[in-house]
Structure 1
Amino acid sequence: MGQSPSGRLVYGYENLTDMCFNDTEEPPRCPYPLCAEDSNNYDEYKDFYEMAQFITGLIFYPAICFPGLVGNILTIVVLSQKGMRTSTNVYLLTLAVSDALKIISDIHYILVSILFKVDINAGKKVYAYLYPYLHYFFGSSVCVSSWLTVSVAVERYIMVCHATRAKTLCTIYRARVVSASVFVLMMLLTLPSIVRYETVTCFDRGSNDTTMDVFVTELWQNETFARSNTWGQTLLRSVIPLVILVVLNTCIINSLRKTRANRRMAQRNRITVMMIAVIIVFLVCITPDAIMSTVFGYGYHDSNYLVKGVREITDTLLGLNAALNFVIYCCFNTAFRQNFIAMCCKSCGAPGEYRLVDQDPHRKKSSAPSTRTVSDKATNTSVSNGLNNHSWNNNKVQSSSV
């Protein structure tokens, strides 16, 4: 006679496997539900999903996430410098924090993918325990990044199209308030997704044993609740930001084409072009996710193999978007690039050929840091010392003659 997990005899079966494997009665006798993979009927796309999972999880994600995390950390360090404190850089600093959180959640996915190849049972358990929380952090960080990008686009629109109001509207204090508000608000609005999934013990037909898996919670099985939250979060993280960014980007580009280039506007236009590049990369990377979320819904784990396989590709694009901003800043922002090089030279103990650049246009000239290099300072010091010595010698000659 078999025994249930509580130690009681069950239904005359010799073991749990015989009881659960062919359980077709209603209600089922098996004390565990079938694992989600066993109940998935879309087996024809399973090979496609496994191939997409292997390519993205073990090839593309490591190539994107580890350099991307380093790039975002360097971005945070560079933009934290005193000379880089501008309203735009406040948004970019917060965006780098959000992108770093997104990449950290992706790195967990890499580790789980590796664990699946080494020990599939251990991989299933780790995945089951982590996924409900990583799903929330993934969605919330994408929402934060989306609306921080919108915030930067709004600021550049004001600076380019309403330049007379920029000095009063685009302040560092206002940028800090908006960034903090976006971060907190998006984390709260996406909070329902943290209770979308739960970790459940289930029966796996493949191994004929119990294991851990992820199931949709009873709350999210309510069709009205699930549909309203799915559409709300889809609109919040992709559709609405996409529409706003397309409109603002069009206005900014048209305004730049009409503006005459001059030295005073050159630096501001370079920053604007950099932000246009950031926005374009964001649009390209998030549009497939917006289409998938609109057509197939917000979930991943409870989808069929075809949707999960395509989701692997769209999620990889979101990871690429989180990792590319550092490269864009280095290519388009001269002050960012020079400060980054100066920090590298300082940390490596290299000669002082580079200097920290002050990007704040409102800083008083008297308080601005010196723009001379170390070699220039050494030359001026030696010349000054030479002149002082020459003057002292002349005074000595005159005293002797007297």
Structure 2
Amino acid sequence: MNVTVPYNCMLNRLYVNVIVCGSLCIFGIVGNFVSFFVLGRDKCSPVASLLLQSLAVVDAVFLILSVIHYSVRDILYVMSRDSEVQQKNLAWSIIRVYTYPILFIGQMAAMYITVLVAVSRFMAVCRPYSANVWCSLTRMRAATFAVLICSVLYNVPRFFEHKVYANASVESTLTINTSYTLLYQNIFYNLFAFGLPLLILIFLNTKLTIVYRKVVLRKRASLQNRNSPAASEDNITKIMIIVVLVFILCNLPSRLILILTHYDVGQPCSISWWLAEFATVLEIFNASVNFIIYCVFRSRFRAILGECLGCRARSLSPSRNSMALTDLKRGPNHPDTCETQLLRS
């Protein structure tokens, strides 16, 4: 349904959806593609690399479509000062209607791939012997593929929610059914796409953080070498804890906002309107930020990135990254390069 928006209010939303969200999306798309290729060269943690690569792909898809459905939409709206461009352009109507469900597919896939990240790391740290069986590379590939297939299948009905006619008008079909809206769009989606996975993430990440901190304190007390393979494994654990934590901190308030406002944005520039805009910014920020996490907290990621960019001398400092550079030269099969058998990912 089209809502008439005052022009001055539309300009304010333009700043949010084009300047803020658009900039985040562009940065996130580039960052996720770079992360995908850099993680692909990190052979020390194949399971972690696979899951984080998968997360980068679905995040990139989500961000590309967010540019279309938020930034491009508002640019067209402001250029026309009304909804004429959106209503009468057949190509735009088709793009808008039939790509919008892919946003939900990407969002749901990102949620459950993040659950796989938390499960795999929880098993590696808290159940290391079982991890070798249940969280092997083959099983994680199969689990990731299953997540993608289930995300697509669950969101297939969304492709039939609206119909585009030859005059570019868009009419609701399924959404006029109150049972469909209540059960599928609200109850089931919030339960299975957000509620259940978020509870799993909070539980696993809390347990993992407690165990990880105990391990770090114990190793500090024993004065273990920070450049040892076990230290590299601890670094992977820290990265994945942070990724999951940021995911929770962004998606939990975003989802609560949408539930509390009943997905009704209200009048233009009202409180519920801007809360919905804030929820969108949180979701886009979460899909854009992982590249920064890897760069800040993962020396091996910086080392590989430096190798790829051909600026090793500038990107690597001797004090923190010499071990990572040595690992790259040794290769993934060197006995001192990858993590220990006990905590293999």
TM-score normalised by L of structure 2: 0.80
Amino acid in the other structure paired with 1:178: A
Aligned pair 1:186/2:171, yes or no? no
Give the 3-state SS of the residue equivalent to 2:163 in structure 1: strand
Q: Which residue of 2 aligns with 1:223?
A: 178
Q: CA deviation at 1:118?
A: 2.2
Q: CA deviation at 1:81?
A: 2.2
Amino acid in the other structure paired with 1:153: A
Q: CA deviation at 1:168?
A: 2.6
Q: Which residue of 1 aligns with 2:3?
A: 37
Q: What do residues 76-100 of structure 1 show as CA deviations (whole Å, max 9, x unaligned)?
A: 1112226356101101011111001
Q: CA deviation at 1:264?
A: 4.5
Aligned-partner Cα distance in 1 for 2:137–2:298: 19
Q: Which residue of 1 aligns with 2:10?
A: 50
Distance change in 2, residues 1:130/1:151 (3 Å) = same
Out of 328, 334, 339, the position equivalent to 1:365 is 334
Aligned pair 1:116/2:77, yes or no? yes
Higher RCO (CA < 8 A, seq sep 6+): 2
Q: CA deviation at 1:257?
A: 2.5
2:300–2:325 Cα contact (<8 Å) kept: no
Aligned-partner Cα distance in 1 for 2:333–2:2: 63
Q: CA deviation at 1:240?
A: 1.4
Question: Where does the alignment leave 5 or more consecutive residues of structure 2 unmatched?
Answer: 316-321, 339-345
Q: Which residue of 1 aligns with 2:202?
A: 246
Instruction: Give the number of equivalent residue pairs.
Output: 313
Q: Which residue of 2 aligns with 1:104?
A: 64
Deviates more, 1:145-154 or 1:108-117: 108-117
Q: CA deviation at 1:198?
A: 2.8
2:10–2:78 Cα contact (<8 Å) kept: no
Aligned-partner Cα distance in 2 for 1:367–1:282: 33
Aligned pair 1:168/2:133, yes or no? yes
Deviates more, 1:282-291 or 1:113-122: 113-122
Aligned pair 1:277/2:238, yes or no? no
1:289–1:315 Cα contact (<8 Å) kept: yes
Q: Which residue of 2 aligns with 1:19?
A: none
Aligned pair 1:325/2:305, yes or no? no
Percent identity reads: 23
Q: What do residues 320-339 of structure 1 show as CA deviations (whole Å, max 9, x unaligned)?
A: 11110111111112211110
Aligned-partner Cα distance in 2 for 1:251–1:72: 28
TM-score normalised by L of structure 1: 0.69
Q: Which residue of 1 aligns with 2:343?
A: none
Q: CA deviation at 1:199?
A: 3.1
Q: CA deviation at 1:344?
A: 0.4
Question: Where does the alignment leave 5 or more consecutive residues of structure 1 unmatched?
Answer: 1-34, 202-210, 370-402
Amino acid in the other structure paired with 1:93: Q
Aligned-partner Cα distance in 1 for 2:140–2:328: 19
Distance change in 2, residues 1:82/1:320 (3 Å) = closer
Give the 3-state SS of the residue equivalent to 1:83 in structure 2: coil
Distance change in 2, residues 1:151/1:133 (3 Å) = same
Distance change in 2, residues 1:366/1:241 (3 Å) = closer
Q: Which residue of 1 aligns with 2:318?
A: none
Out of 85, 89, 92, the position equivalent to 2:52 is 92
Give the 3-state SS of the residue equivalent to 1:279 in structure 2: helix
2:35–2:53 Cα contact (<8 Å) kept: yes
Q: Which residue of 2 aligns with 1:392?
A: none
Aligned-partner Cα distance in 2 for 1:131–1:170: 39
Map 1:12-31 to 2 at 5 A.
none
Q: What do residues 302-361 of structure 1 show as CA deviations (whole Å, max 9, x unaligned)?
A: x764545432221121111111011111111221111011000079xx9xx995845999
Distance change in 2, residues 1:50/1:240 (3 Å) = farther
Higher helix share goes to which structure?
2
Q: CA deviation at 1:175?
A: 1.5
